Structure 1
């Protein structure tokens, strides 16, 4: 039988460590010591084990479902336990080619409850989605939750985390809010490569994007939301109903998550990314507050070279604003910089990314061309056909790669024959 058993939940001061054992062939989907941890900037020794169990279960339960395995534990919160079937059903609807089965064995289901003392907590990365959700809910004075989930078995130095933390703390200070800071290895304790090798073709998506990240991020916040008696955790949307995309963080999943007396809300789903850019720049233009949007989640600062940076920059330009005013140190020759990037990278764009991001940016820039600050972009970007250019770039890439690979294979085979005959 394939099973995962949560053997120990060890709590000390502001940290909880999970130790688990595995039977059957699931071990290949985990790394090293079968260990997950969460560390907070609050003492958590007064939080019930039934609540602290939630993050571990949330991280592994999608794997239990798609592998038709069993998960065993001593106890779990009743509200979360009852939300699991609706969450599984939401995933099943999203990924119909994979059967979501599996079994949960629990010794004790505990009913937890509390009276609300805080209306909201908001997951806050400092990015466009998070800023939009903050602006929409700032009147609720939300706790700002910032997470880093890419440690290994223990806390390691990370310039990215230090930059994220510094930005979040400064932002909270400017708005008179409180920070919740969470560090973990939830993004690295599982072997995503092996899971993808076995399941990504049927899913049509990766483990992290399709099934894991939403539950991981939200569940890490649940123990502290319980401690501080939060009514609702807000998570910013990444997608929009105008272009349906399968994703681990989706309103059909997130809004089903319950814990004790608390709930989760997937915020801003009705907005496209361009809608959010307009909402954000209109707000900051009117308020005259300064802001730095943090787009590069694996860099200390916005690199202004990656796809995510550049589409955000161009979306700001499309609204008639200057990206340098929003934390992007773009080069003086920006139009040529974008052109060079697309020449090299458009072959890697998916049809979905082109439709839900780049084409919308182009359309908005056409509508608003009289207000575009970087006029030299208008000479070519509006007429750039992403689908055609992607196809051409892919053909060129495959041709240029084919002959060196063929030459290497022939050379290797010749050398082997030569060695056998000498």
Structure 2
């Protein structure tokens, strides 16, 4: 049997699409219709474009089970894109991506009614973190529209956190004369994320969406927006470089192949490691004589930074190394912070997966002393950090069963999803 993506309804700025999975896939779906809201009026949006966001999110689940997907109409270019991304994910995850066809009632060439000249603007998926700010710096000559998605790192029910995050993003955009578009979607509650994670955790280093679905999913969420605004490129910031050899849901071979009509995704910044991106931001801030908040934390209640999680610590350390004072960019840091970071390593309290290890090694590789650091005790800290055997710390920190469980879910996933997964894993652990 096929998984059916029903014809979407478009009302004002909202698209809603019912999903009917076959019986054996129902456990991976919550029963909610797929829903996404935009800041622009979408009345008259063609069905073949309106279905793209839902298709992008359900297809990886179908492919992981060898199930066909049935849809009444789809953009011809996007259909080709789906087939290419399916092949890429199959090579990344041969142990569970089984394949599956897209069964389409009508394949529509939407380019026939549009001109490429209509798509001469660009959009940038923007969270205000290191990766997306570095991508803005790289693409700023395009004056890209900043696209922020609620339902990913910040859940659709977390309006207070979203309001806090958008305060920073709106200010960043206003200071640079940029437009901002908000996208709000239940893509992570339409799917049953705890069940997906429980079933596929043995195959992936992070969560399902991060490891498999977020590249195609986040870029494709922008399809209706690009159709309305004429965005020919959707930039999505890279997480790694080609030195990272683990499979991941956002990769040039995925993101660059997501396209429809005259719009295509661009996996931006793949040539730059995270520390190189921090240095790029430091150069930009110095050249423009600007300061602005950088938001990387998934724990802070009001969209800022908690200043005490591993990611906050890692970001602050990288900023100091690049000559940036974190206190001028949305963090609170002094020499005591270095002691807290060192303690986190020595007591093995940081959750360290392949991704965090990759980024800490990157910081180690870029340690240099030919500049004045903006925070006291930095020199002594970096002299110590150069000696740290991260592999040894990671191995000993993840020996316990509970640490192995956390490592499988605590990667860069939305905090509300993490909260729902943790008790699931607690109960699973008790049964082992």
Give the TM-score normalised by structure 2.
Answer: 0.85
Q: Does the 8 A contact of 2:122 with 2:231 survive in 1?
A: yes
Within a 5 Å distance, the mapping from 1:54-69 to structure 2 comes to 54-69=52-67
Indicate which of 81, 84, 96 corresponds to 1:83.
81
Match among 386, 389, 392 for residue 388 of structure 1: 392
Aligned match of 1:165? 166
> Residues of 1 paired with 2:200 and 2:149: CA distance?
27
8 Å CA contact 1:121–1:145 kept in 2: the answer is yes
Residues 228 and 392 from structure 1, CA distance in 2 versus in 1: closer, same or farther, beyond 3 angstroms? closer
Greater relative contact order, per chain length (Cα 8 Å cut-off, separation 6+): 2
Residues 186 and 396 of structure 1: is their aligned pair in 2 closer, same or farther, counting only changes over 3 Å? closer
Match of 1:362 among 364, 376, 380: 364
CA–CA distance in structure 2, aligned partners of residues 260 and 280 of structure 1: 33
Who is 2:345 aligned against?
342
Flag the 1:391–1:204 CA change in 2: closer, same or farther, 3 A. Answer: closer
In structure 2, the residue matched to 1:207 is 208
The farther-off stretch of 288-297 and 47-56 is 288-297
Quote the RMSD (CA, aligned, Å).
2.5
Aligned counterpart for 1:148 among listed residues 147, 150, 153: 150
Q: How far is 1:24 from its partner?
A: 2.2
| Secondary structure of the corresponding residue to residue 110 of structure 2 | coil
Q: Secondary structure at the match of 1:305?
A: coil
Distance 1:264 1:362, change over 3 A: same
Structure 2 counterpart SS, 1:193:
helix
Equivalent in the alignment of 2:219? 218
1:244 aligns with 2:245: yes
Q: State the alpha-carbon separation in 1 of the partners of residues 349 and 230 from structure 2.
A: 47
Distance in 2 separating the partners of 1:119 and 1:52: 20
CA shift at 1:344, angstroms? 4.6
- Superposition pairs of residues 3-402 of structure 1, within 5 angstroms: 3-31=2-30, 33-113=31-111, 114-115=114-115, 116-117=117-118, 118-149=120-151, 156-203=157-204, 206-299=207-300, 300-331=303-334, 333-346=336-349, 348-354=351-357, 356-365=358-367, 367-368=368-369, 371-373=372-374, 374-375=376-377, 376-378=380-382, 380-394=384-398
Deviation, 1:28, is 0.3
- Answer whether contact 1:319 1:368 (CA < 8 A) is retained: no
Between 15-24 and 368-377, report the one with greater CA deviation: 368-377
SS of the equivalent of 2:331 reads coil
Shift of residue 318, structure 1, vs aligned partner: 1.4
User: What's the CA shift for 1:126?
Assistant: 0.7
Q: Measured at CA, do residues 41 and 351 of structure 1 come closer, stay the same or move farther in structure 2, by a change above 3 Å?
A: closer
Q: Is the 8 A contact 2:7 2:47 kept in 1?
A: no
Give a deviation string over 1:279-317, Cα, whole Å, max 9, x none. 111110121012111101453211111111111111111
* Residues 151 and 185 in structure 1, CA contact (< 8 A), matched pair in contact too: no
Pair member with larger Rg:
1
Contact 1:143–1:178 (8 Å) recurs in 2: yes
Maintained 8 Å contact 2:193/2:208 = yes
In the TM superposition, what is the alpha-carbon distance from 1:345 to its structure 2 partner? 4.6
Change (3 A) 1:345 1:294: farther
Does the CA-based 8 Å contact 1:36-1:56 persist in structure 2? yes
CA contact (8 A) 2:65 2:96 kept: no
Q: Secondary structure at the match of 2:70?
A: strand
Unaligned segments of structure 1, at least 5 residues: 400-422
Q: How many residues align?
A: 395
